[in-house]
Structure 1
Amino acid sequence: MDTTRRTALRAGLVVGSAALVPGAILLDQRPSAAAVIPRSDPFTLGVASGDPEPDGFVIWTRLALEPLAADGLGGMPSSTYQVNWQVATDEGFTDVVRAGATTASPAWAHSVHVEVAGLLPGREYWYRFRLGKHVSRSGRALTTPALGSSPSSLEMAFVSCSNLPAGYFTAYRRMAEERPDIVLHLGDYQYEGAGTGIGRQHAGPETKTLAGYRQRHAQYKTDLDLQEAHAVAPWLVVWDDHEVDNNYADDLADRPVEQPGFLDRRAAAYRAYYENMPLRRRSVPAGPDLDLYRRSGWGDLATFHMLDTRQYRSNQACGDGYKNCPEADDPTRSLPGFKQEKWLLDGFRDSRARWDILGQQVFFGRRDNNPDPATTTVGMDAWDGYRASRQRITQGWVDAEVRNPVVLTGDVHAHWASDLYLDYDEAASTEPVGSELITSSITSGGDGYDEPDGTHPWAEWNPNLRFWTNLRGYVSTTITPTEMTARFRCVDRVTTPGAEAFTRATFVLEDGVRGLQEVQAAPVPQLRSSRTARTDEQKIADTIASETHGG
C-alpha cells in the first residue's frame, strides 16, 4: 500500500472515530447518580507520574476491582466516579499544596490523568488519590528545574522490554531502590502474545481488541515490582512494537494474514496505552494515531528528545531480518518519518543544553554480523535498515554542533555500549561523533548469560561495539555538567524472584569529548545457575533469534 493511500485511510478512520477524539474525554465529567462506592480497594493497579515540567507533572491511576476481568474494564460498574487527589511537599501529607477532584469514566476504563500545575520547579513532591474511604498508595514525583537554570546533577535510569511470562520484574524493584529523579521507558512495556513462561502466564489470548489490551495492561500493572518503579519517580514513556504487534511498521502488520483490520487493532492498542500511562492530554489518541514524540528539559543540563520509531516508519526493507540490502540506503525511506526527523533536527539546532539525549527504541549504531568486509549484513528492523535516515540524523547533530549527543536504546534484550560514527566503514581510523547506551531487558529472553570479557563476537569487525552482556537489567546514570556516568546494572536471574542487582560495567562520557571511556569492568559474580561458556556461533544465534522473534 503506498504512503498516500495509507495516509488517506488513516484520515478516514480518524473522522469516523468520534468516540476517540480528544473532546470526547470531556463530554460529561459529572459522577453517575448510581456511582456507588465499591467496598473493596479500587486502587489495585497502583499510581504513576510522568511528563514532568517546571511547574508540575501528570499523576495517574486507574480504578480496577478485578484487574483480570476479560472485558478489560477491571470489574468496575458502568458508572462515572469522582476521584479526589492531593499533592504534598512531604510523604506524610501534612503540607498539601494542591488538591482537587476529577472523574474516572468507564469510557476510558476508569483511568485518571491529572495535569498538576502551579508547583515550584526542581522540587520533590508526593501524591495520592481517594475514592470514598479508599486511599491509594502514595507516589513520589519531581518537577524539572526552572528553564535556564543550571542543575548540578540528575539521576536518570532507563529500561525496556518487560515480558511477564519470561520472568519476574525484580529489576524494576532494584531500580526503584536507587530512587532516580526520572525514568525513561524505551518500549515493549508489555507483550501482546498469549502463552506461559516460568510460572506466570498472560491472561487471555493474543491482544487484538480494546478489551484484550486493557486486560493485558491491567495484568502488568498488578505486578508489585512494577508498581514500586512507577511510584518512585516520574516516567517518560515511548513505545516499541509489542505494545501493538511484533515488528509492525506504521499501518502494516508484521504478517500479511493480520493486515485486515490492523488499523482497528492499532487504534485499540493506542487507546489502551494512553489509558494506562501517565501521559498528558496532548497524547489523547485519535483513532489509530497518538502524538507521542516530545521533548523534556532538565534546566540547561539535559534535553530529552523522546522518539517514536514505530508509528511513522517506512516498512522494513527486504522482508525484515538480517540482510545485505541496498534498499537500506534509499533516501526516501525513514525510520521516524520525515516530519519527526525535521522536528528532531530543529531541536538540535535550537538546543542550548549541555547534554542532548535521544530516548528511542532500536539499535542506532552499526551491528554487522558478517566478518567479510565486502558484505554488510545487518538488521532491517533497526537503524541499520534505514541508513540514509540515520545519516541525516547523525549529520544533523554534527552540523548543529550539539555539545554532547547521546542515544539511549532498548529493544535488543542485552546491554551494549557503542560509539557512533558518520562513516562506519572508517570507524577504525576516525573519531566518533556520539555514543549509544543500550539497556538490556527487564525479563525478555529469560535469565540470560554473561561472558568474562564483556565482548560480543561482532566487536571484532565492528569497532564501534565496546561492551555487551546478555544478562537482564537496566542502566542507571548520573549526569552532571562535566560528565555522564552510565552503570550497566544486572540481575543474575529472573526465573525466580529476589535477585540482587550488581554493576557489570561503568562507562563515562566527558563533556565535549566524543567516545565512551570504560572506568570499570566488574568481574562476573558466581551465578546462581550453571552457565557454561558459549561459542561465538551460539552468541550470534542467540542475538539474532532474540531480536527477530521477540525484540
Structure 2
Amino acid sequence: MSSPSPTLSRRRLLGLSGASAAVLALGVNAPDVASADPLPHRENLFGLGVASGYPREDGAVLWTRLAPEPLAEDGHGGMPLRSAPVKWEVSETRDFRRIVKRGTALAQPELAHSVHPRVEGLKAATDYFYRFSVGPQKSPVGRFRTLPAAGAATERFTVGMISCQAWYHGHFAAHRHLAQEEDLDLTIFLGDYIYEYGITAANLWRQGAEVTPAHAVEIETLEQYRLRYALTKSDPHLQALHARAAAVAIWDDHEVQNDYVGAASSTGIPAELFAHRIAVAYRAFYENLPVDIDALPQGPESDILAGLEVGSLARITLMDTRQFRDAPPVDEADRVREDRTMLGAAQERWVTERLRTSQSRWNVLAGGVVLAPITDDRTDQWDGYPAARRRLLAEMRRAGNAVMLTGDIHKHVAAELRGEAAGLPAGPAGVELVTTSAASDGDGAKTDKYTPDWVQHDYVRHYDGRRGYLHLRFTPEQLTSSFWIVPWVESDDTAPKELSARFTTPAGTSRLIED
C-alpha cells in the first residue's frame, strides 16, 4: 500500500527481500520431496518450538523454523545451507490417532529454514492439534481452534494480549500464566515482539541470563534480526504460549528501529540504507512468526493487514500504525492539519469499509499505539494525528460496540473513548484496552512519573505500570477485560499473577464498569 523510495528501482526492491515466488511457495506447500537428500543427523531441530496463526473457519497457518543451534551467530540456526523437507500433520486428537490433514513444506535457507503451511478444509469452531517431523524427529505438539462459521451464533470468544517483549529486561512470567489460561482462543501480539537495541551489562536485567558479544550491538542486518528473534523465541514460556493457541501479530517500531516512521529512520540513517534495514527486518518478522503469505515483504514493503470474522460475535481488524503514517509534526499547525494520517489513505479506507459493513456484535480494532487523547506532546501516538483520530472515532461510533486494542506504553490502561475529548460531538465512541509490557522496562510499579498524564482524564478508568497481560472474553451480552500483572520479572520467572482490575462493557454502552 505504500510507495517505494524514489531512489530505489522496483528490481532492487524485489532483490532486497531475497526470496523468489518459487521459494515462498515451497515453504508453504511442497510437492513430493522424498528423493531429497536427507539432513545429517541433528538433535533439537525444533529448538524454536511451533506456532499456529491467522485462524479461519476452515483452517490456520502453521509455523516452525528448523534451528538445532538457535543462537548460531550467522542467523541460520545451525542448519546447513540447503533445503530440508518438513512434514506436518493435523489431528482431531492430541495422540494423533485421528489425523485429518497432512502435507510437506520445504525449509529453505533463503527463509531461515522456516515453513508456513496453510491448512484448509477443516471443520469450523473445532480444536485441532498439529506437529512437524523431519525424518524420525518430531516437534512439540501445538493446538489451535478454527473460527466459527461465517454468521454463526457464537456464545463466547477469548483473547489474550501480549506486547513489548524486551527479553533482556526480564523473564516471561506473563507468557507462562497466559499459556495456562483455561479459556484461550487467540493470542494477539500487539507490537515490539523483539527489540533492536544492543544487549549490554547496562540493560541486561534478566537475572541469570548471559549473551555473547554478538548481541551487544544494535541490530541492522538480516543475520542480526534473525538472531534476536531466536533469542526471544528461545524462551520456553513464549514457546508454550504459541503452542497453546493460534496467534496473530502486528508490529510497532522496535521490530525495525525505535520511533521510525514510514520509510524514515528516527536517527538520520540515509533513506537508501534504511530501506534495506526495513526490508531485512520485515523479512525476519515473516520468517519467525506464523503469519500469512501476504506478510512476506517485497523490499521495504509488507502487508500485515488482516481481518478475522468470529461468527456473528466479533469482527477483528488488524492495523498497521507504523508503515503508512505521516512524519511527526514539526509544529502545532502541522499536528492539527486535517489531512494528516496515521494509517495512510488506502488503509484508512479499508478500515472504514470493515467498520461500515460489519454485521458483528463487536467491532474490534488492533493497533500499535494508543488512540485515546492523553497529551498533545505524545506525537508518536494518535495524539500526533488528531484529525485522523476524529475520523476513526466517528466510524467506530457509527459501527457501535467498538473496541480498540493497543500496547506500546508498558502500562495497563482502560479508557472510555468519548467524542468530546477528541473534537467530536459529545457521546461514547467505544472503549480502549491497553496491555502493559511482558518484560520491557523491568519490574515496573503500579504508579510512576507518567501516571498524572493519564489519570488527569476521567475517561481513563485504570492505570497500572507493572508487567503482565490482558485477557478478554467476548459474549453477545458483554465484554469482560481482565488486567493481570506479575509482581516481578527481573529476578526469575516464578512470579504469581495478580488481578490488577477487571471491567465489564455491556453491549451497547461503550462503558467500563469495574467489577
TM > 0.5 between the two?
yes
Indicate the SS of the match to 1:417.
Answer: strand
- Structure 1 counterpart of 2:53, one-letter code: G
Give 2:408's aligned residue.
411
The answer to whether the Cα contact below 8 Å between 1:165 and 1:201 also exists between their aligned partners in 2 is no
| TM, length-normalised to structure 2 | 0.92
Does residue 490 of the first structure (1) align with residue 513 of the second (2)?
no
SS of equivalent residue, structure 2 residue 85 = strand
Matched, 1:268 2:280: yes
**CA spacing shift, 1:451–1:387, aligned 2, 3 Å:** closer
Residue of structure 2 in register with 1:446 after alignment = 442
* Partner amino acid, structure 1, of 2:135: G
Once residues 473 and 26 of structure 1 are traced to their aligned partners in structure 2, the CA distance between those partners, rounded to angstroms, is 38
Structure 2: gaps (5+ residues)? none
| Residue 8 (structure 1) shift | 6.8
* 1:279-320 Cα deviation digits (max 9, x unpaired): 1122222111111011111101011110011111111223xx
Q: How does 1:184-203 map to 2 (within 5 A)?
A: 184-196=188-200, 197-198=204-205, 199=207, 200=209
- CA-to-aligned-CA distance 1:530-549 (integer Å, 9 cap, x gap): xxxxxxxxxxxxxxxxxxxx
Distance in 2, Cα, partners of 1:500 & 1:5: 47
C-alpha deviations, 1:227-246, integer Å up to 9, x for none?
A: 01100000011011101110
Label 1:70 to 1:500 Cα distance change in 2 as closer, same or farther (>3 A): same
Change (3 A) 1:423 1:201: farther
Deviations 1:415-439 (A, max 9, x none): 0111112231779x94321110000
Match of 2:162 in 1: 159
- Distance in 2 (alpha carbons) for counterparts of 1:9 and 1:129: 39
- What is the SS of the residue equivalent to 1:20? coil
Residue among 303, 306, 313 paired with 1:301: 313
User: What do you get for the CA RMSD once the two structures are aligned?
Assistant: 2.2
Report which structure shows greater RCO (CA 8 Å, sep ≥6): 2
Partner of 2:358: 351
| Aligned-pair CA distance for 1:493 | 0.2
State the distance in 2 between where 1:224 and 1:111 align.
19
Shift of 1:325: 2.6
For residue 469 of structure 2, the aligned residue among 445, 468, 474 is 474
**Aligned amino acid, residue 341 of structure 1:** E
After TM superposition, the score normalised by the length of structure 1 is: 0.86
- 1:5 CA drift (Å): 7.7
Q: Is the 8 A contact 2:26 2:105 kept in 1?
A: no
Give the structure 2 partner of residue 286 of structure 1. Answer: 298
Aligned residue runs from structure 1 range 385-534, under 5 A = 385-398=384-397, 401-424=398-421, 430-451=426-447, 456-459=451-454, 461-496=456-491, 497-519=493-515
1:364 Cα deviation from its structure 2 partner? 0.3
Structure 2 residue 115 is the aligned partner of structure 1 residue 112: yes
1:249–1:310 Cα contact (<8 Å) kept:
yes
Query: Percent of pairs identical after alignment?
Result: 36
**Residue identity in the other structure for 1:472:** R
8 Å CA contact 2:23–2:110 kept in 1: the answer is: no
Q: Which residue, 57, 61, 65 being the options, matches 1:62?
A: 65
Unpaired segments of 5 or more residues in structure 1?
Answer: 319-323, 369-376, 520-551
Assess, with a 3 A threshold, how the Cα gap between structure 1 residues 354 and 51 changes in structure 2: closer, same or farther. Answer: same
Contact 1:410 1:440 in 2 (8 A): yes
Report the Cα distance in structure 2 between the residues aligned to 1:257 and 1:283, rounded to whole angstroms: 24
Q: Find the aligned partners of 2:261 and 2:150 in 1 and give their Cα distance.
A: 36
Q: Distance in 2 between matches of 1:80 and 1:257?
A: 35
- Deviation (angstroms), 1:456: 3.1
Q: Deviations over 1:36-78 (max 9, x none)?
A: 2423120000000000000000110000111111110001011
100-109 vs 195-204, which moves further? 195-204
Counterpart in the other structure of 2:334: 327
C-alpha distance in 2 between matches for 1:8 and 1:423: 43
- Letter matched to residue 143 of structure 1: T
d(CA) in 2 for partners of 1:426 and 1:281? 39
Distance 2:36 2:55 in 1: 35
Deviations 1:436-461 (A, max 9, x none): 00000000011011259xx9323554
Answer yes or no: is the 8 Å Cα contact 1:410–1:441 preserved in 2.
yes
CA apart distance, 1:105: 0.7
Query: Are 1:231 and 2:235 an aligned pair?
Result: no
Q: Residue 261 of structure 1 aligns to a residue in which SS?
A: helix
2:371 to 355, 359, 364: 364
| Change in CA separation of 1:343 and 1:256 when aligned onto 2, cut-off 3 Å | same
Distance 1:18 1:159 in 2: 28
Structure 2 counterpart of 1:214: 226
Provide the rounded CA distance (Å) in 2 between the counterparts of 1:7 and 1:347: 32
- Contact 1:414-1:471 at 8 Å conserved across structures: yes
Q: Distance in 1 between matches of 2:158 and 2:17?
A: 42
Q: Secondary structure at the match of 1:378?
A: coil
Q: Deviations over 1:336-356 (max 9, x none)?
A: 111100000011111001000
Structure 1 pair 289–134 and aligned structure 2 pair: CA distance change class (3 A)? same
